[in-house]
Chains A and B, each alone.
Chain A
Amino acid sequence: MVFVADPNVADNWNEIREELAEAFSMTKDAATRGEPIVYIVRGDDLLGRDGIGAAIVATALLSGARTASLELRESAINTLAIEKESSLEAISTWVGHLLAGGPRGELVRLGGNHLGKALP
């Protein structure tokens, strides 16, 4: 299962809650089926650079992936942070790697906009 966070979610609690509730519902269903999971977020949102709502969703998903990974030892649940300039090819390649298993609760960041900045 791949959940793509909406980077345009408004700074409004109802929209944020709906986005996170959808991620929860899809994660629970996928975990029940034993499927690997990847959350895709914007790297800029992990650092709070764009909207408040987008930052909340991105960092909440990262925490959710780490907690779910502690519980679901048979499934790989990871987070992929992309940039606006990330190519579809790079994104699909890394989604494929993460769905294939191995890393658990990991954050992979494409591009270099995070370098020299806060660790998640």
Chain B
Amino acid sequence: MVTGAAGGIGSAISHRLAEEGRRLILVDMAPDLARVATELETSTMVRPVQADLTTEEGVQAVRSEVQELGSLELVVNNAGITRDARLANLSGENFDLVLDVNLGVPLRLIESLHPLMEAGAIVNISSRAYLGNFGQYNYSMSKGGLVGLTRAYALRLAPRIRVNAIAPGLIGTEMTKAIPAEVREKMVAAIPMQRMGTPEEVAALVSYLAAASYITGEVITIGGGRSLSR
């Protein structure tokens, strides 16, 4: 089960898991979900669920799909949003919204779905911003909260289910294309690897953690060395 499956990283994760022959439940609010599902239908069984996971009905829709399929081995909490502003200008509405989508949804999903898993893995897509990122107090808190959630569930659900987090840095998606070119070039220049990461590189890490039978409670940064450079 992959949330945010219609986005850049979510779509790449879905493609990667389909190539591995996994049956997929793909979840997103965006109508573009149908396109991703159609792309994958030739290679595996896909069940798209267009739902708002901030609602109880949305979470229940996913749970119902899992119950129909009969088993669940992997949960990828990938859906996320940004509403950036400096702390002084950050509204309560945008604080609540970002935390609800990025943190509340994974919490509610895991609580709802883990009883249906006999074994397997949960991968939470956090962000390198959990280390701190200018203008992202709300986003940084939400992704930092995911780290705590990951550790606590790793301890609670072991040895039945492994729980890990991935903290991507700057990844080339439609979202990063929206950044003005000058700003993007400066951001890339600060990355030791001298380029943005690709959604496929994040997807490969998800695939690795899905199968990594002795790794749990870890946060793995995929940021081209940006966590070290000035």
Mutual binders A and B: yes
Contact B143 A63 (CB under 8 A): yes
Find the A residue at minimum CB distance from B105: A13
Contact A62 B144 (CB under 8 A): yes
Number of residues on chain A facing chain B (CB within 8 A): 40
Judge if B120 is at the interface, Cβ distance under 8 Å. Answer: no
In the complex, which of the residues B137, B151, B155, B217 contacts A68, with contact meaning CB atoms closer than 8 Å?
A: B137
Measured between beta carbons, the chain B residues less than 8 angstroms from A1 are none
Give the secondary structure class of A's interface: helix
Judge if A110 is at the interface, Cβ distance under 8 Å. Answer: no
Contact B154 A67 (CB under 8 A): no
Measured between beta carbons, the chain A residues less than 8 angstroms from B151 are 47-48, 55, 59, 118
A71-B137 CB under 8 A given contacts A28-B90, A57-B148, A60-B145: yes
A46-B148 CB under 8 A given contacts A64-B137, A67-B133: yes
Number of inter-chain CB pairs below 8 Å: 130
Contact B132 A70 (CB under 8 A): yes
Measured between beta carbons, the chain B residues less than 8 angstroms from A20 are 99, 141, 145
Docked pose: A63 CA to B99 CA in angstroms: 13
Measured between beta carbons, the chain A residues less than 8 angstroms from B103 are 16, 56, 60
Judge if B57 is at the interface, Cβ distance under 8 Å. Answer: no
